[in-house]
Amino acid sequence: MEKKRLTYRDSGVDIDAQDEALRRIKGLVQGTRTPEVLADLGSFGGLFQPRLGGLEQPVLVASADGVGTKLKAAFLSGVHDTVGRDLVNHCVNDILVQGASPLFFLDYIASGRLRPEVLAAVVTGLAAGCRENGCALLGGETAEMPGFYADGEYDVAGFIVGIVERPKLLDGSAVLPGDVLIGLPSAGLHTNGFSLARKIFFDVAGLGIDDTVKELGQTVGQLLLAEHKSYLKALSGSLAAGVHALAHITGGGLTDNIPRVLPDRCAARIDRGSWAIPELFTYLSERGGVAEDEMFRTFNMGIGMVALVSEEQAVELEAHLDGLGESHARIGEVVRGDGGVHYA
């Protein structure tokens, strides 16, 4: 009896599906090309020739991140074209807080069984995010790992590189007592606090992904998949005006992220009543019985980015944001202290 000849597909890896997936996403990636991109998708490495004219002390700023358990909402809802945009925007914000503008982005997507239509949907979001932020989706990696991820699940991570002139690099050293904290609104949970939010929606409230939360007028899926905003367009034009620091409000909330940009012997005083906390967070707090301090350390509470500026600069920044139609609120100030955040 002739011994059966095994193929890679027999072990769970479908190279034909990978080829079909790459065919689907090639046009999406090409749509993000900038003049600096020198290689097409499919090369072993992406090629990017930065234009450094006019920059005397260019500094590259790089960051990597994921979207965490927000992916669970994508799996349950079958909506996969938003998490890619979330990932790009999150990474853009992470380098924006150091004053950098994005140059290019790379992604890593791993799954147990590759489904070309799902991969194409994820990359659709990645490409949209890159186009909206003016950076190239330079390349990435797609890994099929049978037995490692549950069927229908995947993970996605992003890697971004940006550039800033060294004198314009934001490192918090310019922050002084008396500086004003200006908060820019989030669009919901963004990409943090999802494990607790899912527990409240699914386990405590007993809701499903497609059920409507009556108090909020949206389905659980809509609330969980609301996009993570990019603040690049709102803030990039204001960086030259002398913003002292920026804090991206991600995991750890206002409590843990603002101290990351405070110099020694400075603290932040935040007035909790200075902005309208979105009803989503009120619902999660009340339905889940979550203490206020825990809420402010787990969720962004409606503030996705905080700018630290002098009183004079605050007026200019507010006028800049008003001109763009961007909402904002003065949420506190920098005071002398122990480096922490104190709420009033």
Quote the CA–CA distance of 116 and 22 in Å, as a whole number.
8
The answer to whether the CB of 338 falls within 8 A of the CB of 177 is no
Quote the CA–CA distance of 265 and 304 in Å, as a whole number.
25
**Is this model's pTM higher than 0.75 or not?**
yes
The DSSP-derived string for 25-88 is: HHHHHHTT--TTB-S-TTSSS--B----TT-SSEEEEEEEEE-TTHHHHHHHHT--SSHHHHHH
Residue 315 pLDDT: 92
The answer to whether the CB of 40 falls within 8 A of the CB of 30 is yes
Neighbour count for residue 51 (Cβ, 10 Å): 11
Nearest to 233 by CA among 81, 114, 117, 92: 92
Q: What residues does 158 pair with on adjacent strands? A: 65, 107
Residue 105 pLDDT: 97
Residue 11 pLDDT: 55
| CATH of region 180-343, choose from 2.40.50.320, 3.40.30.10, 3.90.650.10, 3.30.2130.30 | 3.90.650.10
CB burial of 8-41 (b: ≥16 within 10 Å; e: otherwise) equals: eeeeebbeebbebbbebbeebbeebbbeebeeeb
Residue 23 pLDDT: 73
Q: Which CATH architecture has domain 9-45+55-168?
A: 2-Layer Sandwich (3.30)
Radius of gyration of the chain (CA): 22
CA angle (148 as vertex; 115, 28 as ends), nearest 5: 30
DSSP reduced 3-state for 159: strand
Q: Which 8-state DSSP code applies to residue 179?
A: P
Domain boundaries, the chain: 9-45+55-168, 180-343
Cβ-Cβ contacts under 8 Å for 294 (sequence gap 6 or more): none
Quote the CA–CA distance of 188 and 201 in Å, as a whole number.
15
Quote the CA–CA distance of 35 and 228 in Å, as a whole number.
27
pLDDT, block means (10 residues), the chain with 344 residues:
61 64 72 82 81 89 96 96 97 96 96 89 96 94 89 94 93 94 97 95 97 97 97 82 91 95 95 96 97 96 97 92 94 93 93
Tokens (6 digits) for 307: 């700018």
Tokens (6 digits) for 323: 């001109």
DSSP reduced 3-state for 174: coil
CA angle (207 as vertex; 202, 210 as ends), nearest 5: 115
